[in-house]
Structures are given as structure tokens and as C-alpha cells.
Amino acid sequence: MELARATEAAALGAVPWTGRGDKNGADGGAVDAMRTMLNSIDIDGVVVIGEGEKDEAPMLFNGERVGTGSGPQVDIAVDPIDGTTLLSLGRANAVSVIAASPRGSMYNPHDIFYMEKIAVGPEAKGKIDLSAPVRWNLEQVARARGIPVTEVTVTLLDRPRNDDIVSEIRAAGARIISITDGDVAGAVMAGMDGTGVDMLLGIGGSPEGVSAACAMKSLDGDMQCRLWPR
């Protein structure tokens, strides 16, 4: 629960920047607030997935030590704001993200910045396959949820790199909710009931993919990713 205080602090630090058109200012406010809170928590943390290297401070950089230095040794994945553009424009679904795991266990994609992703909630857990055709996965989710494919709703980033996937989804008859930024929130929505989203698909950021995978594990959902070198 102490880690939740760090995301709460980041969100509050970003609030004054909402709708002001300055995404860097918003990110800076969130980073400063999150760092301060993290450094008050009794952990010996290392940022494995952050926002760049040390020379890009004040971001929470890869390799940065956080916490008081006492307590459990943990790897940290962090994004003070996933969806800075959304927040700067006053739009919904910007989120503050943090995940922790025992030291040495957090996956680090290093210099591969994009991943192919598929994520679903508990009902379809174990029934998806990133290597299978889009239509097959849609049919699997529909069967698991007891609905026709035409009622399956998929969310994905509105990017040219996802155009082929969009075409396959539409050809199968499923619905699409396209998002301009923030596919961590998209994955979380796919993992929870009552959001109107059944699945996340498409190519998005690798750091966000790792954070989303941590969230899906907590939600007892299912997520598969594959690095997408450019």
C-alpha cells in the first residue's frame, strides 16, 4: 500500500498541469512528487524501467536508487504519468504507474522500445495466443465471455503501425475503441469487469508493456508480449 502513496503523490503533483498544454511540466511535477514519496518508503529499490538514463534527470532514471535503503530489495518499474499528452489536453485516462518485484526479477527490454501486446481479463485467461490470427483470438474471447464476436470490444493505440490489426478486427466484426495515448490504462480496462473493454491488442511501448503485465498479474488476467524491433 505504501507504493500506492507514491502514485497518489504523482497524480496530485500533476493536477495543476491538467489542460495547460505542457506535458513536460506535468511530467516534471509528477516525477518530483513521486521521487519524494518513494524516498520515504522503507525499501532498497532500483529503477529498472524508468524514463531514461541519469543524464536526463529530473526524470526517474534507469538505475536510480529509491527508498530509504532499508527493507526489501526490489526492482521498480515506474511511469509517473502514462498519458502526459492526455493530461496536458485535459482528457481522461492518464494514470500514474508503479510496479515492484524482488531484486533481479523485473524484465528489462533495454533498447527495444516497442512490443506487440495482447491482454484479456480472467474469463479468457489461458485462451489467447499472440502468435495466432486476430480473428482466432477474438473468437476465443467471445467464447470465454459467452458473447458473439460482434459484441467483443478491443482497445488499441491509434497509430499507423496498428493499421493492419485494425483491419483484421473490423473484418471479424468486432468493435474498436482507439486510444491516442496510454495503453497501460487500456490493458487495465481489459482486465476488469464493467469497463466495456474485452481485449487490448496492438503495438505499443515496451516499458508500458512491462508495467501493464504487472497490473494484469494482479488482476488475475492474461497478457502476452513480443518485442518489436524497429
pLDDT at 142: 99
| Each residue's pLDDT tens digit, 126-184 | 999 999 999 999 999 999 999 999 999 999 999 999 999 999 999 999 999 999 998 99
**pLDDT for 206 beyond 50:** yes
| Each residue's pLDDT tens digit, 16-33 | 999 999 999 999 999 999
| CA 135/CA 141 separation, integer angstroms | 10
Query: In this structure, which amino acid lies at residue 82?
Result: D
Highest-confidence segment of 58-67, 154-163, 180-189 = 154-163
Q: What is the CATH number of domain 114-227?
A: 3.40.190.90
pLDDT at 54: 47
pLDDT at 53: 58
- Bridging pattern class, strands 222-227 and 153-157: unpaired
DSSP letters along 133-161, please? -HHHHHHHHHHHHTS-GGG-EEEEE--GG
Q: What is the CATH number of domain 2-102?
A: 3.30.540.10
| CA 209/CA 197 separation, integer angstroms | 17
Domain with CATH 3.30.540.10 in the chain: 2-102
- Bridging pattern class, strands 199-205 and 114-120: antiparallel
Distance of CA 92 to the CA centre of its chain: 15
| CA 105/CA 103 separation, integer angstroms | 6
pLDDT category, 118, cuts 50, 70, 90? Answer: very high
* Percent of the chain's residues with pLDDT above 90: 90
Strands (E), 8-54: 44-49
Domain with CATH 3.40.190.90 in the chain: 114-227
